[in-house]
Amino acid sequence: MQLNLAFDAALREPSEPLEPLEPLEPLEPLEPLKSLERPKTLFVRHPRARRYVVTVRDDGVVRVTVPRRGSMREAREFAARQEEWIERQRRRLEQERSAVPPDAEDARRQARMRATRELPPRLMTLAAEHGLTVSKVSVRNQKWRWGSCSRRGHICLNWRLVETPAWVRDYVMIHELMHLRRMDHSRKFWKLVAQACPDYQAARQWLREHGRVL
């Protein structure tokens, strides 16, 4: 959940999340949710942020996005003022987690472990086939994306890709790899994707139809 407010604004509901230029924190798999009594707080400065943003991740970590010209003092004060909202989100996370059957939780954990083993090697194979260099591969619990690519060549993959058909999974990887050549979604970018993955439109349609249930 995310709370997106101007620093001196009144509390309101979250808005759409900011699109990062590159990963804003270590792209490692989230640890299983344990105790949310004392969450860690991450302060991350974002060059495109225009306001302070508070986010509560699935693992209970509180993240505060700081505008380019913002101060850490103001960021801490802003986070402190949102404490009630943060606690509500943390209680909701606890309730949602307790509602997940143990066998379902175990299956999800196993799938994430399999994703960590299988997705990075496949990405590196595709990178080699297309003559591209990847600096780092991470597997993460992303909510809004199937993958992402930073300007430094760091590609992050959603662990749920391991539960998609191989041809769909390859499309997502190729999509991120083509960002190493063009960091946009222009016609030229999609032409690169089409050349590397002729069936990419079918893969995108599959994700639209089935992605929400994964």
Same domain, 23 and 115: no
What residues have CB less than 8 Å from 14, skipping those under 6 apart? 1, 2, 3, 4
Domain count, the chain: 2
Tokens for 199, please give them.
């069936």
DSSP assignment of 98-144, as one string? HHS-HHHHHHHHHHHHHHHHHHHHHHHHHHHHTT---SEEEEE--SS
Q: Are residues 75 and 26 in the same domain?
A: yes
Task: Give how far Cα 69 sits from Cα of 18, 49, 50, 104, 113, Å.
Answer: 17, 9, 9, 44, 40
**Do 121 and 150 fall into the same domain?**
yes
Confidence of residue 201 (pLDDT cuts 50, 70, 90): very high
Query: Could you give the CA distance from residue 43 to residue 74 in angstroms, rounded to a whole number?
Result: 11
Q: Is the pLDDT of residue 166 over 80?
A: yes
CA 192 to chain CA centroid, Å, is 24
Three-state secondary structure call for residue 54? strand
Q: Same domain, yes or no, for 63 and 32? A: yes
CATH of the domain at 191: 3.30.2010.10
Q: Are 50 and 69 in contact (CB under 8 A)?
A: no
Going by pLDDT thresholds of 50, 70 and 90, the confidence category of residue 152 is very high
pLDDT in tens, 61-89: 898 999 988 999 999 999 999 898 888 88
Q: Which of 10-19, 119-128, 140-149, 163-172 has the lowest mean pLDDT?
A: 10-19
95 with 116, same domain: the answer is: no
Neighbour-count burial of 113, counting CB atoms closer than 10 A to its CB (0-12 exposed, 13-18 middle, 19+ buried) = middle
DSSP state of 145: -
pLDDT of residue 107: 86
Q: What is the pLDDT of residues 113-123, one digit of tens each?
A: 999 999 999 99
166 lies in which domain range? 102-213
9 — pLDDT class (breaks 50, 70, 90): very low
